[in-house]
A and B are shown apart, each in its own frame.
Chain A
Amino acid sequence: MLELEKAIKGGPRYWAWIVFLLAVIGAGTLAYLLQLRDGLGITGLSRDVTWGFYIAQFTFLVGVAASGLMVVLPYYLHDYKAFGKITILGEFLAVGAVIMCMTFIFVDMGMPTRVLNVPLYPTPNSIMFWDMLVLGTYLALNLVIAVPMLAAEYRGKQPPYYILKPIIYLSIAWAPLIHTVTAFLYAGLPNRHMWLTAILAARFLASAFCAGPAILVILYLLMNYFYKQENNMKAVGKLAQIICYAMIVNMFFLGLEFFTAFYSGIPGHKHSIEYLFFGLHEHGHTYGALVPFMWTSLVLGVTSAIVLVFPGARRNLSILVPTLVVLVLAAWLDKGVGLIIGGFVPSPLGHITEYSPTLPEVLITMGVFGIGALVITVLYKIVAEVRQAANS
């Protein structure tokens, strides 16, 4: 008989990891207290670049949350059995990711004590209202699906599919919705040319469906490594294939942005992309703090996509794992750094203000990632313990 309190206890390596996460969260909390006292002025934000690291991570993580779809959809709609045991992991990853998303929004607020003003004054014309709604619902959907599934697995019974199936189908429709609505936060703003593109939601989804499953595969492999379980290489290989295609589509979409901007020659469309990839000039200065990061992202993204095209690479874990790590880094640089900050440069008045995060800002960001990692660690550990108990 397995009890929950036993499931969250573990060996020295596990506790070392938990203590490490708590330390990271603690450091982030201290930095947040500083921000609470002195305001967002302790970050690298400015009058011109009003969203930075926090909102960028939020955007990236909405994609991670949506990515569970890439295992849930093939399993339930196409009866792709190999993903059976991974769906719960996808759902729990989504839970962790949404919790991080909400925390990032919270730490980004100038007046966090007024967070309840959003539900108190519901404003349907604001996309932020809808984003809060779809993210909250998505969190609930994933918990409502994953917890009974796990309970059924633990008892060795069939899950109550007659109740769960409709909820699962709803969650399949909901996953692209959360990232679409998140893209609409940006894509509907006049004069923010980098975001004012009909393809933004599609770009978000493409990058989500490569980076998210890549993180899922890495976590799945890690879990099996620690619990000495066999990897389902059929599932891993198929996911790697999905990741590969999504990355290629993602790169293609980026290419479309380049074409439209540079062939039309419209300055507004070009400026942000120029800033990100080549740097912009003002008063004899060249501003291009993000140029090395964007090229790194581009090179790593293309490389990982090419490597993943080869079936041999997808089967060989010593090639696959580093490739996936590189791919996640590429997608993170593109979305978690470039896309949000690039949208603010140049400013609506044509001025260039560069942004880089400060130490407290990085600590707070790490702290939020720590919270997510803690949630995911505990949830995955429960899954692993349940499965181990079922096997013995």
Chain B
Amino acid sequence: MGITKRDFLKIAGVSAIGAGAVPASKAIAGFKDQVGPNKEALTGERWAMVVDVRKCPEGCDDCAKACHFTHNVPEFTYNKRHEIKWIWHEKYVNAFAVPENEGEYVDKATASRPFLVLCNHCDNPPCVRVCPTQATFKRKDGVVMMDYHRCIGCRFCMAACPYGSRSFNLKDPRLGLDHTHYNKDFPTRMKGVVEKCNFCAERLAVGKIPVCVEACKHGALAFGDLADENSQVSKLLRENYTVKRKPELGTLPMVYYIVR
């Protein structure tokens, strides 16, 4: 049996009275205002993203740049093996099929178009299933999260992810950051833990949409709650034919693609 937060506050309050410093009731009331959920936080039942591939121009990398800066994702350009990435572009055949299926009859425009890939925040995530410490877990609103402080670095989740969405810090990620120019509001990681896209959980908590969506000047990305009929993503899914990556695996990915 551990001490709950409530017990702790009681003890703390009683101690405060004992010390005659601050009246207990006042201390607790003041503290409560600072904890509790942010009233501005965005809440949803089932967060999802829609990528409109038609609007995604070749050569544009704004979303990935914004994401990687916001989340202090290190850059190890000298060695591709150590690469860390949360969101990036792949070719159609890599994102959706296996290279062999790149037949000569695939529509050339589709085949050459950049396809944005990121964590799918699956409704049935294999990474969560295999994690031996619950360091990776799914929130009620569908966001698949990583606890960098609990991860033991076994990389079972990376073997389990069918989308290659996870990266492992093979070396100290802080070596790949510009120490004069990084986001001080988001924690850096240490070597030996796995990381990936978190659907900007830290931004949702303060009422902001994911930074990749915000950074896209072409309107190719939409984010919202699938449980809400009026959300932009629900509308897009109603009005367009969409596909998901490897739906046959039963992972129920929550990133949808409008291809044409």
Contact = CB atoms under 8 A, between A and B. Distances in A.
B117 interface: yes
A4 interface: no
Contacts of A108: 154
Contacts of B101: 267
B81 A47 contact: yes
Among A47, A51, A128, find the residue whose CB has the most chain B CB atoms closer than 10 A: A47
A39 B172 contact: yes
A271 B98 contact: yes
Interface string B114-130: 00010000000010011
B112 interface: no
A126 B129 CA distance: 6
B55 interface: no
Given A267-B98, A348-B161, A349-B95, A126 B168 contact: no
A109 B164 contact: no
A351 interface: yes
B158 A349 contact: no
Among A109, A185, A353, find the residue whose CB has the most chain B CB atoms closer than 10 A: A109
Given A39-B191, A40-B192, A110-B154, A128 B130 contact: yes
A38 interface: yes
Interface stretch (B1-9, B38-46, B145-153, B222-230): B145-153
Contact of B130 (A105, A127, A271): A127
Contact of B150 (A39, A112, A121, A125): A121
Contact of A110 (B94, B193, B251): B193
**Chain B interface extent, by class:** 35 or more
A111 B155 contact: no
B249 A117 contact: no
Interface residues of A, number: 50
B155 A267 contact: no
A128 B98 contact: no
Among B94, B170, B191, B193, find the residue whose CB has the most chain A CB atoms closer than 10 A: B170
Contacts of A41: 82, 170-171, 191
A191 B162 contact: yes
A361 to B, nearest CB: 12
Interface stretch (B59-67, B131-139, B211-219): B131-139
A268 B126 CA distance: 18
Given A114-B150, A123-B133, A348-B163, A51 B90 contact: no
B83 interface: yes
Contacts of A351: 94
B134 A349 contact: no
B94 A350 contact: yes
A185 B130 CA distance: 9
B126 A189 contact: yes
B193 A349 contact: no
B164 A347 contact: yes
A111 B160 contact: no
Interface of B: 80-84, 90, 93-95, 97-101, 117, 126, 129-135, 150-156, 158-164, 167-172, 191-194, 246, 249-251
27 contacts: A40-B168, A40-B191, A45-B81, A47-B170, A51-B155, A109-B192, A110-B193, A111-B153, A111-B192, A114-B151, A114-B152, A117-B132, A120-B133, A121-B150, A126-B130, A132-B132, A268-B98, A282-B99, A343-B159, A348-B163, A349-B95, A349-B117, A350-B94, A350-B98, A351-B94, A353-B80, A353-B81
